[in-house]
Amino acid sequence: MPAEFRPLNVEGAFAFTPKVFPDERGLFVSPYQEEAFEEAVGHRLFHVAQTNHSLSSRGVVRGVHYTTTPPGVAKYVYCPRGRALDIIVDIRVGSPTFGQWDAVELDPASFRTMYFPVGVGHAFVALEDDTVMSYMISGTYVAEHELALSPLDPALGLPIPDDITPLLSERDGAALTLEQAREQGLLPDYAESRRIEATLHG
């Protein structure tokens, strides 16, 4: 049975829920399924240039991170351990959903996954200790291409739970607001993001 999927509030983004097969030994699951992905997004997954793995304590908030566009990257994310609130933010100037966000709880019970198209912002909140996030991404890490927005920007109003005291890196704690980044011309352009994403999938 192919994974179920639904579009998110950010244009071009999707959440997927694969079927989990438990038995007396444990379980088996396929977090990425080409058939479901192609039906949802309209093309196959990008060429995977890099995989990333992060481990976080409860309360850690990573993001809002994004890549300058160009070059831009797309991501496919899931949580194989712990529990996280994964957040996508549309920061693409000109997008029909600019400034909107959506959030999906990821965990190793449902194995829900999220697809992040080129040009959007990504943040997550670790809801348990030892939360692992696993990423497939379309480009390699280049430090000067990686930017951040404040996850505490009140204009974004991200859904950080009230019982969480956010633990931020120095970089994320000092990050610009969405409006400051827009004024400085640091946000991705929607049309350019879509153009780049089309090239990732041939």
SS (H, E, C) 63-129: EEEEECCCCCCCEEEEEEECCEEEEEECCCECCCCCCCEEEEEECCCCCCEEEECCCCEEEEEECCC
Residue at 110 is within a domain: yes
Q: Could you list the residue range(s) of the whole structural domain that residue 155 is in?
A: 46-200
- ∠ Cα 122 124 130 (to 5°): 140
Identify whether 4 is part of a domain: no
185 — pLDDT class (breaks 50, 70, 90)? very high
Where residue 108 sits, what CATH number does that domain have?
2.60.120.10
Catalytic residues: 65, 135
Average pLDDT, the chain: 96
Flag whether 41 is in a domain: no
Q: How many domains does the chain have?
A: 1
In a domain? residue 60: yes
Reply yes or no on whether the pLDDT at 170 is more than 60. Answer: yes
Tell me the per-residue pLDDT of 80-114, one tens digit each, with 9 for 90 and over: 999 999 999 999 999 999 999 999 999 999 999 99
Q: State residue 201's pLDDT score.
A: 74
φ, ψ for residue 34, nearest 5 deg: -60, -40
Q: Does residue 11 lie in a domain region?
A: no
In a domain, 73, yes or no: yes
When pLDDT is cut at 50, 70 and 90, the band that residue 200 belongs to is confident
User: Is 88 part of any domain?
Assistant: yes
Distance CA 21, CA 141 (A): 34
**Cis, bond preceding 142 (omega within 30 deg of 0):** no
CA distance 165 to 111: 26
pLDDT over 90 percentage in the chain: 94
Question: What is the reported pLDDT for 202?
Answer: 56
In the structure encoding, which two tokens stand for residue 170, read together?
A: 């120095």
57 in any annotated domain: yes
- When pLDDT is averaged across residues 9-34 and rounded to a whole number, the result is 95
